[in-house]
Amino acid sequence: MQIFLAQQNYHIGHFEYNTHKIIEAICKARDAGGDLIVFSELAVCGYPPRDFLLFSDFIAQCERCIAAICNEAKDIAVLVGAPCKNKEIAGKDLFNAAFFIADGAVKQVVHKTCLPTYDVFDEDRYFEPANEWNIIHYKGYKLAVTICEDIWNLGNNPLYRACPMDELIKHQPDLMINLSASPFDYTHEEDRKAAVKANVLKYQLPMFYCNTVGSQTEIVFDGCSLVFDGKGNLCGKMPSFEESLQSFEVNLDGTINGEILESVNNLPDLELNPVTLEAGLNIPHIYDCLILGIRDYFTKMGFTKAIIGSSGGIDSAVTLALAVAALGKHNVTAVLMPSTYSTNHSIEDAVKLSEQLGNPYHVLPIQPIYETFLQTLSPLFQQLPFSVAEENIQSRTRGNLLMAIANKFDYILLNTSNKSELATGYGTLYGDMAGGLGVLGDCYKLQIYELARYINRHENIIPLHILTKPPSAELRPGQKDSDSLPEYELLDHILYQYIEQTKGPDEIKAMGYDAELVNRILRMVNRNEYKRNQFCPIIRVSPKAFGVGRRMPIVGKYLA
């Protein structure tokens, strides 16, 4: 049987666009002699639709799209994801479903069993889990169809009580098909291989795994759809971070026609859980993720142009380079806003960077505005010593200027804050924390230096001086980040253990880190939740990003 996998980039709630894309792929697969085409989880409406699912009109539009797809499902069968109404009064009103369509009609509907409600997922809020499991008969094959999380319930500590394949295997299927919406993080490509391999080896069946691609606000889906034969060999892998339509031939004996890409013995057996910040990192894929995240955010929001505050520092330099790569040099404007505390080399570095990238830039000195603020506040400040208040006035002045330009010319302000700063509260609300999208908010400072080196892999786009000078906010004379924060070599590794690895203070101290330093850093993290709660969406690249995937109480006392 010839099976096509359609790895596509959908737009949540854009039903006409999504349906056109799905039907176009159906026609191509049918014209190429395909027997079955498989789409991803909730392809019709886009994933994750979240509270759109609470609107009856949203569900009605999904149903109309399924009807339109039925009209094209002739001489080829279709497996496509969409929400499905629960006919029973008890339980949630919807199922997360896979529709099997053939001969112009819906022949069977498969419901998702394992509903993830952790990290960025909240499916139990909307969906009822499956309560029956049946295979699909098609062209002499018996298909065991599952949806995303359904294949992740293996291992020594399963999250769910029911494993749908344990029920489906009783019907002696010939192959497994999984419709997925599995987000990118820098460990997840290998995690998927491990999960699919574990299923194949347990059930001794080939698997076709179709994942979505594209960015939906902060979550980026990287595709990487997979095909495994019945012995656990990888026989098909679709590209990362781009759409693709590919066909594969499967036989009743579990073999896949074509060459083996990776043998079963060379594939990972377990999900990755890197114990150090460096382990498991894939800078090229992080770079690709950030590019797609920026590009899709603008495209799907209907914007074309970005603005960035360019300081001559590493964070704004990397953000600017990424934005130019994603949107084009003429669509990204840099604004340099020096004050009396800005060093000449920072201004020169920022100018040189924009000249290298070819993007437009402007220089707007903020000293006159800053002095007006100080003069206005002088009666209240009563000649108190210079403090963070005066520092933040500069940052908020810059934020005001950037947002004024963004409003005037319909730009989106890209925020340049990194994960190290956001974790410790080293940023100014309504100042350098302003923006419509956080590009680097899930990258630690050390990772940003690695991204800069990757951007410079062919030529020095980012001036080398930006990579070598000590980082500084330049809000007071001679200021360095290290005046307020531990050195990033220590800070980032302790943050990683606390945030990604969820280790407590005693566990981190047992790793050899200074007890007082650990207490100080963890206190900074927990005391600055209120700042992160007001921050813009952050492109997610790690297994634990700030935002919807990490939910902490603002007024908690734990370690604060």
Residue 365: exposure state from Cβ atoms within 10 A (0-12, 13-18, ≥19): middle
Residue of 428, 425, 422 whose CA lies nearest to 542: 422
Dihedral-angle region of residue 254 (phi above 0 means left; psi in -120 to 50 means alpha; beta otherwise): left
Beta bridge partners of 101: 78, 106
How far is Cα 533 from Cα 78, in angstroms, rounded to an integer?
42
Determine how β-strand 361-363 pairs with β-strand 332-336. Answer: parallel
Helix residue ranges, H only, 49-149 = 56-72
21, 65, 112, 503: the active-site residue: 112
> Per-residue DSSP letters for 137-200?
EETTEEEEEEEGGGG---SSS-SSS--HHHHHGGG--SEEEEEE--B--TTHHHHHHHHHHHHH
21, 41, 72, 421: the active-site residue: 41
Contacts of 392 (CB under 8 A, 6+ apart): 428, 431, 475
> Per-residue DSSP letters for 3-54?
EEEEE-B--TT-HHHHHHHHHHHHHHHHHTT-SEEE--TTTTT-S--GGGGG
Task: Report the Cα 350 to chain-centroid distance in Å.
Answer: 29
How far is Cα 485 from Cα 491, in angstroms, rounded to an integer?
8
How far is Cα 296 from Cα 162, in angstroms, rounded to an integer?
36
How far is Cα 509 from Cα 517, in angstroms, rounded to an integer?
9
The torsion angles phi and psi of 218, rounded to 5 degrees, stand at -95, -15
Contacts of 520 (CB under 8 A, 6+ apart): 486
148, 163, 235, 289: the active-site residue: 148
CB contact at 8 A, 310 and 320? yes
For tokens 């902060």, the residue is: 218
149 included as an active-site residue: no
370: tokens are 């800053």
41 included as an active-site residue: yes
25: tokens are 């792929």
How far is Cα 146 from Cα 112, in angstroms, rounded to an integer?
7
CB contact at 8 A, 129 and 114? yes
Residue 180: exposure state from Cβ atoms within 10 A (0-12, 13-18, ≥19): buried
The torsion angles phi and psi of 7, rounded to 5 degrees, stand at -95, 105
How far is Cα 407 from Cα 401, in angstroms, rounded to an integer?
10
27 included as an active-site residue: no
> Which residues are catalytically annotated?
41, 112, 148
